[in-house]
Structure 1
Amino acid sequence: MADTLLEVNIEEAGYDGNHSTIEQVEFAVKSGQLTGLIGPNGAGKSTTIKAIMGLLTEVKGTISFTKAGNHYAYIPEQPVYYETLTLWEHLSLASAVYGVDETVLEREGNALLERFRMTEVKHHLPDGFSKGMRQKMMLMIGFLIRPDIYIVDEPFVGLDPRATRDFLALLEEERRRGAGVLMCTHVLDTAERICDDFVLLSNGRIVVSGELGDIRRAASLPEGTLFDCFNALT
């Protein structure tokens, strides 16, 4: 049985003390498994992620990284970068922060550059990159530090099909290593194909969670796609 890496038990959370954005949000992320966090706009997905990352002051409940030394990589929907640092300098900075050995940086960093076809812009500033290239940079930083848990927000936005394939292949390699993944996405056909289980949020609460069969039973759609079930339940 897979080890639990993250336990989320949020009674309520929000951006001020007078109004809760999410309530009764409970789920776990396990080793080697990919959990899809899905829901319509305004459902509370971003608030949930911020609560997990400790970015909200108004959180009632517990969020537990249950493995000793547990650390995560957050890959945001909107790339965040330093305008004065090159792509390689971003990788070097991340490796320094997370204690990645210099030889590992050289080996793994260059392998990631080659895999995402970014070697030619290794020493370029990200201001000149397309959104897809910046997203690739975020993915490379995440994969470089090899965390216990990946928290990924809308990873497919801006990625071309080839980069999407590379991302999913690397994610599968990391899952085989034992990493857990919490992925927030609107791309439901891909989520149905790659996720082990789902947490469906609507209006700040969990509508249903579990494997696809659980989602189908909740939606009364025994053969329904995740998209069909999503529409029926939200």
Structure 2
Amino acid sequence: MIELINVSKSYNDGKVKAVDNINLLVNPGEIFGFLGPNGAGKSTTIKMIVGILKPDTGKILVDGIDIQKEPVKAKRQIGYVPDEPNVYEKLTGLEYLNFIADVYGIGENERRERIGYFLEIFDLKNAIGDLIQSYSHGMRQKLLITAALLHNPSVWILDEPITGLDPKSSFLLKELMADHAKKGFTVFFSTHILEVAEKLCDRIAIINKGKIIASGTMEEIKKQHEWESLEKIFLELTEK
């Protein structure tokens, strides 16, 4: 579960309102899509949820834990994939994954099993001993996804996770997201690929200029807009 209550964030001494008093509730067992044009406030919102940025006002709860009051406890519930695959380039892929496993206190047997599983499905086994600086964008993205899911967190927060993935890896990630939600856990992700959001999400929210301008199930949103496609609804709302 993720809950945002009257959350705002400004930059440039308050002159730029990146996120403007938004409220969101993401329930356990659902995939929630967070949509918006570039600069709408998506990444700022996500970085506040995971504790990288502090909101100016408002409260953020992750599985009922206040991210500002108990940041470490809240972050243990989260698996986070950022919008840019920036990783420690001088480590090998395996060294990086073991470092993440150490951070989360994952035992030897569990980490070996989970690392092996993700390396197999994402086809990284042959490259895991290489320095990360030699990895392509897509390989780095798959490594970050593996690292984010290594501790089996209840809440997945993914910022443009499909960008840079090959079709097979993209399909596998969507399958993992669906399976995670079926277990009663939470998946919150941003994407520019509207077809993915339309097919995969239980509910979506559209943010523009820091404000939530639409929220609900696909059926609810389409009903409000005479059953237009999500693409047309998105363009109409964000261009007003």
TM-score of the superposition, structure 2-length normalised? 0.89
- Opposite residue 226 of structure 2, the aligned amino acid is L
**After superposition, where does 1:1-234 map in structure 2 within 5 Å?**
5-19=1-15, 20-67=17-64, 70=74, 71-218=77-224, 220-222=225-227, 224-234=228-238
- Opposite residue 59 of structure 2, the aligned amino acid is T
Distance 1:66 1:156, change over 3 A: closer
Structure 1 residue 176, shift from structure 2 partner: 2.3
2:56 counterpart SS class: strand
- Opposite residue 85 of structure 2, the aligned amino acid is P
Please say if residues 180 and 187 of structure 2, whose CA atoms lie closer than 8 Å, have aligned partners that are also in contact: no
Please say if residues 76 and 154 of structure 1, whose CA atoms lie closer than 8 Å, have aligned partners that are also in contact: yes
Instruction: Please give the alpha-carbon distance, in whole angstroms, between the structure 2 residues aligned to 1:35 and 1:138.
Output: 20
Instruction: Please give the alpha-carbon distance, in whole angstroms, between the structure 1 residues aligned to 2:36 and 2:98.
Output: 35
Instruction: Please give the alpha-carbon distance, in whole angstroms, between the structure 2 residues aligned to 1:72 and 1:186.
Output: 22
Identity %: 32
Between the two proteins, the alignment pairs up a number of residues equal to 228
- Opposite residue 38 of structure 1, the aligned amino acid is L
Distance 1:81 1:37, change over 3 A: same
1:26 counterpart SS class: strand
Instruction: Please give the alpha-carbon distance, in whole angstroms, between the structure 2 residues aligned to 1:212 and 1:58.
Output: 29
RMSD: 1.6
Structure 1 residue 156, shift from structure 2 partner: 1.2
Structure 1 residue 17, shift from structure 2 partner: 4.1
Stretches of 4+ moved more than 3 A in 1?
66-70
Tell me, which stretches of 5 or more residues in structure 2 are unaligned?
66-72
Instruction: Please give the alpha-carbon distance, in whole angstroms, between the structure 2 residues aligned to 1:57 and 1:29.
Output: 20
